[in-house]
Structure 1
Amino acid sequence: MKAFDTFDANLRRNLLILFAAGLLFWSSLASLLPTLPLYIESLGASKQQIGVVMGSFAIGMLIFRPQLGMLADHRGRKIVLLIGMAVAAITPLGYLVVKSLLALMVIRAFHGISIAAFGTAYIALVGDLSPEHRRGEVIGYMSLVNPIGVALGPALGGYLQAVAGYTPLFIASAVLGSLGLICILPIVNPAVVEKPVNTTDDGFWQLLISPRVRVPAIVLLLIGLSLGTVHTFIALYIKSTGIHLNAGLFFTAAAISSFSIRLFAGRASDKYGRGLFVTFSLVAYTLALVFIWQANNAFIFLVGAVIEGAASGTAIPMISAMMTDRALPHERGRIFGVSLMGFDVGLTIAGPVVGFVAEQIGYRSTFGFATGLTVLGILIFVTQSSQNLPKSLRFAFGRGEDVYALKRE
């Protein structure tokens, strides 16, 4: 991590505290990944109802992401980090006190605000602090909080649920969020960057349909649909096959792979361009879903998990770095908020829509359906990511620059 050696002591301290907060945040959320669908099923829910409840998580992200992005730009990143972590600390306790599906949907939607706030502010703050010429490297390293948290969280959650039940599981998730809240308090909030004189802020729809945001948002929509399918139904799919595999191990294998690839992908993208690595991630998502779709033993499931982890470990950091390249500091929160809306919509739709598909054709064929979505993502990105087809192909395969990147002195 050579980039950190060049930073002064205060900046390194800020980044380390931020890293610790991110680790606790993702551990809290991920502890419920393999267990919450099973908890909802234990209350008598059908496949589609499980999908609706799990998908409600993204409703909170979808509604609040743009507003929280604006708040991060206008009031600073720290206040938005605190909002996200507070929601992560409070919400797990809500699962303990509600039993109806409607109430669970409301609690799950509220839980989604945590990522809308913390995820947006975290990426924006890391982008603020990263030197332009090493941005991919720093974002890659700081994004390690996700795979580490997603490795530790499901292992902890699965263990607590198996040996002690759901109540200790939800309490542990809340405690992790509370510790993260304490970590955020000493973070030094950078000065708010004012927009340049004689410039106007684009509205939500103007940003969304702008060339620099439109294609990344569509790609993130398709990634969100595919990832939502995995996160919502993998535990139930494995159970339905009769294969003896703890779903927590699937997430742990994916997280280890995601961790490993982030150690070098960010630095490499500074040299070879973001487009090549976004293309790689979409191809890897497709391969992962093919393995999961065709899995007939635990080993094949774990191979799919490893490839899926590599895809996730590349896609989100690289698209984040790409959007940081394309945004001025005073609009970075809004740009992330708008571009990540595609991901939120994908996760929102995945639960109920894919749940309906699962009811009709079963879990296995559902993952075949998800494979088609990532193939579509590949086609869109390699042909539409720049001003025309030749430039798009060159950018997508690392042979040309990002024409939408903003060069600053």
Structure 2
Amino acid sequence: MNVFVTLEPSLRRNLGALFVAGLCFWAGLAGLLPALPLYIEQFGANGQQIGLVMASFAIGLLTMRPLMARWTDEQGRKPVLVIGLLAIAIAPLLYWLVPFFPQITWDLSWGDHLWRIRSPIVLMIIFRAFHGLSIASFVTAYSALVADLAPPNQRGELIGYMSLVNPMGMAVGPALGGYLQAASGFTQVFVWMTVLGVIGLVCTVTIAEPKRAVATVGRRTAFWSLLLLPAVRIPALMLLLVGLAFGGLATFIPLYARESNFALNIGLIYTASAIASFGIRLLVGRASDRYGRGPFITLGLMFYTVAMVALWLAQSESAVLLAAAAQGMGGGMLIPMVAALMADRSTSTDRGLMFGLCLTGFDVGIALAGPVMGHIADLSSYRDIFGIAAVMTLLGLIIFVTTSSKDMDHSIQFALRGGKDVYAVSNSTL
């Protein structure tokens, strides 16, 4: 971590506060994962309805990501960070309030079909959609701010280290949430996740943003028009397919473990993933500055595919934990390397837009994963979700290896052997 020694003390303090805020954000978000599907189920929800509620998180993501990405460039990184942490702090309290509302059931019929809609499920969808504002805001602004601070020739290393908030939060949050739910019930889970959000807010208000060129309203770039650029389109498509796999994992792993009769604390699955993700991020960031982003993105997709296959075939608790570790290694390589890749391909005035649009692919994947994978689970089993997820990540791997650069030959070279990215912006324009 020698990169931090070269930074000014004030900059290190800002990075320290930002790191703690990020840790609280991910722990507060991930701490709900072991408990929330079970909480939704107690309202009488089936697999598809649970998937629908969990996937409604992406409604907030998809609707607010363009606005938050633009505000990140125009209004600054810090205000958008605050919005994300406010959502983290408020959403658990909204979930906790659901049983206190009057419970109403509506029966809707269309031909021979009858749909029974319960008001708690509707409220959970609304509150889960609000919760999606958190990632739409925080992740875009966090990635952009870290990229602003990072020296160009050490960008991958610094992004890799600062991205450790994700696996650390994913290790602490689910373990804490799973323990609190088993020991004290859902109320304690919601209260402590709110506390983490408040701590993150306190840290964020102490951060001083560095001076940078600011995007002006009069020179706006249309958000969706950036998809016409292959530099953005291919990473976004790849993340869409990974989002399908991750969405299925995040939503249904507690139900999969119960269906398979695994005697396992669900939080340990997320913890195993997070520990592996933590370890790999310590290595790949600095290596990517030397060898290029492509090979590590390729390796991340390969590990993700292996992990989904392993979950599909797992017959023991140890096999599930090994699969979770493989998924953690895949995500630990893939996500920070895509962030570094988009930082290479953008300037400080459009970095929020570039990050935001690329991550929207991941959002769409998560949005589709809940209802689609939930329907598959209702027709077959929760186990088969991961077989489908493996197909999605394998397709993402094929797309990246063959189309990540200006033609197939350059793509294969970049994805497998590394080297210069033809879409990278010159350091002089950063």
- Helix, strand or coil for the counterpart of 1:362? coil
Match of 2:405 among 375, 386, 401: 386
Matched, 1:205 2:231: no
Equivalence map 1:158-307=2 (5 Å): 158-195=178-215, 200-307=219-326
Matched, 1:62 2:62: yes
Cα distance, 1:153 vs structure 2: 0.4
Residues 1:185 and 1:163: Cα distance change in structure 2 (over 3 Å): same
Matched, 1:155 2:169: no
- Helix, strand or coil for the counterpart of 1:330? coil
Using the alignment, how far apart are the partners of 1:294 and 1:33 within structure 2? 23
- Give yes or no for contact 1:148–1:255 (8 Å, CA) kept in 2: yes
Aligned length: 408
Q: Which residue of 1 aligns with 2:114?
A: none
- Cα deviation per residue 1:375-409 (whole Å; 9 max; x = unaligned)? 10011000010110000000001244210001122
Amino acid across the alignment from 1:304:
A
Q: Where has structure 1 moved over 6 Å in runs of 4 or more? A: none
Matched, 1:408 2:427: yes
Equivalence map 1:79-118=2 (5 Å): 79-99=79-99, 100-118=120-138
Using the alignment, how far apart are the partners of 2:16 and 2:124 within structure 1? 35
Amino acid across the alignment from 1:25:
F
Cα distance, 1:65 vs structure 2: 0.7
Aligned residues with identical type, % of pairs: 51
Q: Which residue of 2 aligns with 1:365?
A: 384
Using the alignment, how far apart are the partners of 1:157 and 1:10 within structure 2? 34
Using the alignment, how far apart are the partners of 1:306 and 1:149 within structure 2? 15
Q: Which residue of 1 aligns with 2:103?
A: none
Bigger Cα displacement from structure 2, 395-404 vs 322-331: 395-404
Cα distance, 1:58 vs structure 2: 1.2
Bigger Cα displacement from structure 2, 182-191 vs 285-294: 182-191
Equivalence map 1:20-59=2 (5 Å): 20-59=20-59
Match of 1:138 among 158, 171, 174: 158
Using the alignment, how far apart are the partners of 2:59 and 2:333 within structure 1? 25
Cα distance, 1:201 vs structure 2: 4.1
Amino acid across the alignment from 1:48:
Q
Using the alignment, how far apart are the partners of 2:426 and 2:416 within structure 1? 21
- Helix, strand or coil for the counterpart of 1:189? coil
Cα distance, 1:203 vs structure 2: 1.2
- Give yes or no for contact 2:291–2:419 (8 Å, CA) kept in 1: no
- Give yes or no for contact 2:293–2:418 (8 Å, CA) kept in 1: no
Cα distance, 1:195 vs structure 2: 4.7
Matched, 1:328 2:353: no
Amino acid across the alignment from 1:171:
V
Q: Which residue of 2 aligns with 1:75?
A: 75
- Give yes or no for contact 1:73–1:334 (8 Å, CA) kept in 2: yes
Using the alignment, how far apart are the partners of 1:12 and 1:82 within structure 2? 20
- Cα deviation per residue 1:322-345 (whole Å; 9 max; x = unaligned)? 000000110001111111110000
Q: Which residue of 2 aligns with 1:346?
A: 365
Cα distance, 1:190 vs structure 2: 2.3
- Consecutive unaligned residues in structure 1, runs of 5 or more: none
Cα distance, 1:82 vs structure 2: 0.5
- Consecutive unaligned residues in structure 2, runs of 5 or more: 100-119
Amino acid across the alignment from 1:16:
G
Using the alignment, how far apart are the partners of 2:203 and 2:361 within structure 1? 30
- Give yes or no for contact 2:346–2:425 (8 Å, CA) kept in 1: yes
Cα distance, 1:371 vs structure 2: 0.7
Give the alignment's TM-score, normalised by structure 1: 0.98
Cα distance, 1:209 vs structure 2: 2.1
- Give yes or no for contact 1:284–1:311 (8 Å, CA) kept in 2: yes
- Give yes or no for contact 1:278–1:319 (8 Å, CA) kept in 2: yes
Cα distance, 1:43 vs structure 2: 1.7
- Give yes or no for contact 2:51–2:371 (8 Å, CA) kept in 1: yes
Using the alignment, how far apart are the partners of 2:374 and 2:335 within structure 1? 25
Amino acid across the alignment from 2:237:
I
- Cα deviation per residue 1:21-46 (whole Å; 9 max; x = unaligned)? 00111111111011101111122110
- Give yes or no for contact 1:75–1:192 (8 Å, CA) kept in 2: no
- Give yes or no for contact 1:76–1:190 (8 Å, CA) kept in 2: no
Using the alignment, how far apart are the partners of 1:399 and 1:246 within structure 2? 40
Amino acid across the alignment from 1:110:
F
